[in-house]
Amino acid sequence: MTTVSTFLDKEVIVQAPRVTDRERTMDPVITVDHLQKRYGAHQAVSDVTLQVYAGEIFGIAGPNGAGKTTTVECMQGLRQHDGGDIRVLGLNPATDGPKLRRRIGSQLQQSALPDRIRVWEALDLFATFVPGESNWEHLIDQWGLSGKEKTAFADLSGGQQQRLFIALSLINNPEVVFLDELTQGLDPAARRMTWDLIRAARDQGKTIILVTHFMDEAEALCDRLAIIDHGRVIDMDTPQALISRHGGPQTVTFTSGERDFSWLSGLDVVDSVRRTGSLTSVSGIGPVVPLVSAALVERGFVPDDLRVHQQSLEETFLRLTGRDSMNGMTE
């Protein structure tokens, strides 16, 4: 739903949702309801509930040890859960595992390929596991591996290895793709290239479940995400909505000569208006940017250096969990 606020007796649209009404009325392709999983006495997942819609990059984000991998392994039928309910593409992974795995793609762990296997051999080998006709030549071009067909896995760069893993996960033309810590160990350039490729897979209509403990990655890539800590979902939404909800105040700054902008504190969303020299800082919680901008323009002042200061998802995550994502060990 679009939020409408009243400003100077006019209705102002203040927030356009990134998850569209169309998506909300569609059935989710994945539902996880109160999932639980323990390893011996250790409760790895205690309460995970989430829904994923077709065509989105859905993030499962949280510190190391939070229960992310366990959750997605249960979703793929690779582990049996102890409690709760999972449906992926209408199937129960616990009982329909083989049927489900024909329709999903999973990223392999680094250790899954022998060092000496060549790129084309890996693709050819994995294609033999797919029932029916399976064509992999197009994946070579699509995932930037042209010219590398005869290269051994161990001789590929980190980024090329990850691209091969994505290509292999797509070999059965899956509807849903699970990627777990795909960019771990990549340099910044390879990481960004991998992000572009994940977006490209989404744009081809795949639904992507992206497991990551990097909050910058979640913010850059995910349409929506669930933040998991200690085996529970703390919150789930678009990155922007999570930042708005938990990220603390938003501050807008701009400069002007002698004008006094203290009247901006009359807006509901504004908590403080401060002036330092020619710089005015307006802080508040909620849709501060559009309402302050509209109010300024309404009074005939169009700032040309308006800047917004807002927490990143990483800082928001720190607020939520008390830990930053790079130092996210639970133990």
Ligand X SMILES: Nc1ncnc2c1ncn2[C@@H]1O[C@H](COP(=O)(O)OP(=O)(O)O)[C@@H](O)[C@H]1O
> Which residues of this protein are in contact with ligand X, per CB under 6 A?
39, 42, 44, 62, 64-70
Kindly tell me which of 148 and 191 has the beta carbon lying closer to Mg ion.
191
273 CB neighbour count, 10 Å cutoff = 20
Nearer to ligand X by Cβ, of 70 and 106: the residue is: 70
Q: Is 18:185 a contact under the CB 8 Å cutoff?
A: no
**Pick from ligand X, Mg ion, none: which does 66 bind, CB < 5 to 8 A by kind?**
ligand X
Q: What is the DSSP letter of 152?
A: B
AA identity, residue 211: V
Per CB under 5 A, the segment of 42-50, 63-71, 108-116, 254-262 that binds Mg ion is 63-71
Residue 52 Cβ vs ligand X, minimum distance, rounded to whole Å? 17
Which CB, 67 or 287, lies closer to ligand X?
67
Other beta carbons less than 10 A from residue 174's beta carbon: 20
The DSSP output letter for 118 is B
Spatial separation of the C-alpha atoms in residues 56 and 207, rounded to whole Å: 5
Please give the Cα distance from 210 to 117 (Å, whole number).
26
Binding of residue 71 to Mg ion (CB under 5 A): no
Amino acid in position 246: H
Residue 282 interacts, among ligand X, Mg ion, none and using kind-specific CB cut-offs from 5 to 8 Å, with: none
Beta carbon nearer to ligand X, 39 or 129? 39
**In angstroms, what is the minimal distance from the CB of 314 to ligand X?**
17
How many whole angstroms from its chain centre is CA 240? 11
**Cβ 320 to ligand X, closest distance in Å?**
15
Closer residue to Mg ion (CB): 69 or 183: 69
Q: CB 322: neighbour CB atoms within 10 A?
A: 9
Chain mean position to CA 79: 23
Instruction: Work out how close the CB of 33 gets to Mg ion at its nearest, in angstroms, rounded to a whole number.
Output: 22
Tokens 């064509």 appear where? Answer: 135
Q: In the set 5, 69, 250, 251, which binds Mg ion (CB under 5 A)?
A: 69
Give the residue nearest to Mg ion (CB): 69
Which of Mg ion, ligand X, none does residue 166 bind (CB under 5 to 8 Å by kind)? none
The residue among 10 and 42 lying less far from ligand X, judged by its C-beta, is 42
d(CA 267, CA 289): 12
- Specify the residue, 66 or 225, whose C-beta has the smaller distance to ligand X: 66
Find the shortest distance in angstroms from Cβ 232 to ligand X. 12
| Residue 162, contacted partner among Mg ion, ligand X, none, CB below 5-8 A by kind | none
Which span (33-41, 50-58, 64-72, 233-241) binds Mg ion, by CB under 5 A?
64-72
* Selection from 118, 110, 38, 106 nearest residue 78 by Cα: 106
Q: Which helix (H) or strand (E) holds 120?
A: helix 119-128
